[in-house]
Structure 1
């Protein structure tokens, strides 16, 4: 087994064409998305997109625990300590390249299937969300847990969370609630549940198919392959669907303080709902404030505009204290006792929000090339 953090291979198909396969290969780190991974995936995906003999691509991960548990933040953490509010060139490269990859996935010109087995969180959701065919399994566990680490749901989260039914996306963003395969399909994060044990069946079908070499027809064919593989598979109950009305009531209105008050006062016998409310109470007030600001700003933005706004937001979080403190509390010291600044949502000012979202460099936007 190679030591590369991403493995690449190609499936030879009956018609003589090829289907690319990219495998995240850091199972001991739950396939956390690193800069090295991005720098391997981005050029390879561009190569496959331009190769007429490649009819589609599959993105998967090694191991049985996780597709990807999020971004690899340990190296970024060191630069946050070193740079503080000053310019952080590592962070600039980290977010620019990750968002370039995410955008390419959203706009990929051929069928692009993500096999989202096991844990799919944060940056892992960013990889899956834009694929043309998003597969989940009975073991899939999906979440955007950034409020726990003093960040916000980036990687296009401002785009795809806003497009979920009702206010379920805002609920997931503010509470870090973990959802299952049925929830992922209901919310639009996934398309189909295929049991993990049928993965080989899907790969065999890809190899045995005579692909048209035309994106629309090939996407339809891949959908048929996945539909056959999903036959008889039982979906678990969807918590988002069951609690849809409660979630919409909790998230109602255009004042975050009203939402916060409802969550703080919420009491339920349902452990999942109660846990979500408690997670909001423990999360970073700065994360909640910026998340809600983005929720209000993005509805009429293009995907490229959202990624450009998120780029500045992410650098803004790097320049403020909560992101480093959240990483410390969850990933470094693991005391789960962060000291947020400000400690209360009521103390967050308009200037504080705007400073997170302002441009931090002159000249063309680093993501200006996005269409």
Structure 2
């Protein structure tokens, strides 16, 4: 039996004779994790739909019910990082270079782009999700930048979104990899709508019946009205947001820019809130160097353009695949599953500033950066 394509595409016909592109990430057994071939295919299809005058809008979704996309295929990245010889790192370098470029280009997509947020939306999958101009979270949404657990760093434009998020939640998400539900994501601006998954058919009916025009701004406006109506008539019970109840506590923990002090305050927590406890545990067991990088992302991101963000994140990714923590984190959490990563530093306090600066340093001269042309 032939292997099913990892990316499925179709075009829905509308009542007014136009087309709606539908792109489905089709690796449900791997929670739709993307590899280099999938990244390139997404880029190819989206560019074609941007240039096709008959296509008036696009929907992105993940196959199955478990995930829109749980991130990059880190098993393939691990194999690249642990190869011996001249091809070591080649696949990882190619993957990150293509992924970040694709996401930057997709942020420039002018037509309405709907992302259906069902199940896990994490890491690189979250980077793809936030490219959409109309982001929908359902009752099953579990959204996070969980890179602290594998020794990478919040990437694929995470620097931009974490640093522009209402305080203290950008830093909280970057340090702890905490999962956010649909109600929380809407409050934080990570989604635009929160509705039950039963509205999927309603969305298909909406997009095929709207009076699409050549005026792209008008199309966005009409789609927004229709999605808001679907949101208001949803029947599924959405999970309650936990942000307001915990904001005072988290603000106290994350006050100031001393990461060591922040970690100590969090470790002293004696309360019984399971969500907060899990976030603290993620930070304590996660990669100490990643926490330092996330802190720098919050500090700098608010002063950077999106182009500067993707270029800087590519610098950090290049360094990360050549530093031991990333490969070790993937080994422990995904390959061997002993869940006992041996990080290069025992805790946040032990990470030298020189180590952090090396991870943040670009390996390229300014005029030789791979993204000098974007």
CA contact (8 A) 1:152 1:287 kept: yes
Instruction: State the Cα distance separating 1:232 from its structure 2 match.
Output: 3.5
Which residues of structure 2 form unaligned runs of 5+? none
- CA distance in 1: counterparts of 2:91 and 2:202, whole angstroms: 42
CA contact (8 A) 1:85 1:318 kept: no
- CA distance in 1: counterparts of 2:256 and 2:286, whole angstroms: 20
Where does residue 331 of structure 1 map in the other structure? 334
- CA deviation profile, 1:83-133 (whole Å, cap 9, x unmatched): 699972222211111111211222211111100111111111111112100
- CA distance in 2: counterparts of 1:2 and 1:315, whole angstroms: 32
CA contact (8 A) 1:143 1:178 kept: yes
- CA deviation profile, 1:213-236 (whole Å, cap 9, x unmatched): 222111111111211211243432
- CA distance in 2: counterparts of 1:85 and 1:298, whole angstroms: 34
Where does residue 106 of structure 1 map in the other structure? 107
Where does residue 305 of structure 2 map in the other structure? 302
Counterparts of 1:1-371 in structure 2 under 5 Å?
3-82=4-83, 88-233=89-234, 234-362=237-365, 363-370=367-374
Which residues of structure 1 form unaligned runs of 5+? none
CA contact (8 A) 2:170 2:298 kept: no
- CA distance in 1: counterparts of 2:244 and 2:48, whole angstroms: 40
With 194-203 and 361-370 compared, the bigger mean Cα shift is at: 361-370
- CA distance in 1: counterparts of 2:119 and 2:86, whole angstroms: 36
Count of residue pairs the alignment pairs up? 370
CA contact (8 A) 2:24 2:62 kept: yes
SS in 1 for 2:135: strand
- CA deviation profile, 1:287-316 (whole Å, cap 9, x unmatched): 101111222122110001001000010111
SS in 2 for 1:238: coil
CA contact (8 A) 1:148 1:326 kept: yes
SS in 2 for 1:10: strand
CA contact (8 A) 1:183 1:241 kept: no
- CA distance in 1: counterparts of 2:19 and 2:153, whole angstroms: 38
- CA deviation profile, 1:230-257 (whole Å, cap 9, x unmatched): 1243432111232122222211101111
Instruction: State the Cα distance separating 1:361 from its structure 2 match.
Output: 3.5
- CA distance in 1: counterparts of 2:129 and 2:29, whole angstroms: 20
With 218-227 and 77-86 compared, the bigger mean Cα shift is at: 77-86
- CA distance in 1: counterparts of 2:242 and 2:48, whole angstroms: 40
CA contact (8 A) 1:26 1:32 kept: yes
- CA distance in 1: counterparts of 2:109 and 2:250, whole angstroms: 33
TM-score under structure 2 normalisation? 0.95
With 203-212 and 316-325 compared, the bigger mean Cα shift is at: 203-212
CA contact (8 A) 1:105 1:112 kept: no
CA 169–84 in structure 1, closer or farther in 2 if over 3 Å, else same = farther
Instruction: State the Cα distance separating 1:71 from its structure 2 match.
Output: 1.0
- Large movers: runs of 4+ above 6 Å: 84-87
- CA distance in 2: counterparts of 1:223 and 1:104, whole angstroms: 23
TM-score under structure 1 normalisation? 0.96
